[in-house]
Amino acid sequence: MNLVVDIGNTHVKAAAVEGISVATMLTFPSAREVDVEPILARYSITRAIVASTGSGAAEVIEKLKRRGIKVLEMTPDTPVPIGNGYLTPHTLGTDRIAAAVGAEAVFGRDDYLIVDFGTAITIDLVSGGVFLGGNISPGMRTRFRALHDYTSQLPECSPTDETRFPARCTREAIEQGVMQGITYEIEGYMKSLAEKNVKLSIIFTGGDAKYFVKRIKNAIFAKCELVICGLNRILDYNATEQADI
């Protein structure tokens, strides 16, 4: 059993993981508020991996080391069990490469389009065991907030399962504009790749993926935490390669 800590842009996840099975997971609003004592009290954990797309990794790592846990910090230089074709690997978010590793850990080696619905939406291509890169756009909640924060009168809206056009009030227009805009965006990638005869398995992951599974056909919803599973696979891989982890 390993401890995986994923420090994201909006919250922090700490999980006890074995293989691709997440035994338990806690969520915190910031790295400063991370308290893994309930996990350590329940499970026998001697090693951990800490990854961050935000800040606060050093503080979490220090807490774990004081508890006698061997810690691997996920960085652009950390060895991973897949190839990386990204031209600027030192600017690649740890969540993106971890999701790619997680896809192979959970579903096996294949060609994937991985769509991670979080603060940002990342659309990444993995082929032949190599991360090839992808695109980034604002996430669903980021779009809702932006319309509210950068205008004087538009309300802050929430996700909806409804689909309709045309919308007949401003709140509905924002809800439908964001939800359908993301839907058409992802479907556009899928259509473009299909027209090029690129055969892919489409995987949806991330906190907001559930809102789009029913809207977009032919996608696999990764019910597990793909990034968490990928980070655990990376930790196991490095523990095999480096005796001190």
Per-residue pLDDT reduced to its tens digit, 186-196: 999 999 999 99
Q: Where are the domains positioned within the chain?
A: 1-73, 112-221
Question: Which tens digit of pLDDT belongs to each residue from 119-128?
Answer: 999 999 999 9
Task: Let me know if 111 is a catalytic residue.
Answer: no
Q: Distance (Å, rounded) from C-alpha 70 to C-alpha 38?
A: 18
Are 119 and 140 in contact, with CB atoms under 8 Å apart? no
DSSP summary character for residue 33: G
Is 1-73's fold the same as 112-221's? yes
Task: Tell me what pLDDT residue 242 has.
Answer: 56
Looking at domain 112-221, its CATH class is alpha beta
Which residues of the chain fall below pLDDT 70?
241-245
Q: Which of 95, 124, 208, 236 is catalytic?
A: 95
Q: Give the Cα-Cα-Cα angle 132, 138, 139 (nearest 5 degrees).
A: 95
Domain 1-73: which CATH number of 3.30.365.10, 3.30.70.270, 3.50.50.60, 3.30.420.40: 3.30.420.40
pLDDT for the residue numbered 158? 95
53 vs 118: CA distance, rounded Å: 12
Here the tokens at position 132 are 């090839």
- The model carries a pTM of 0.92
Max intra-chain CA distance, the chain: 63
Predicted confidence at residue 244, as pLDDT, reads 54
Per-residue model confidence (pLDDT) at position 243: 46
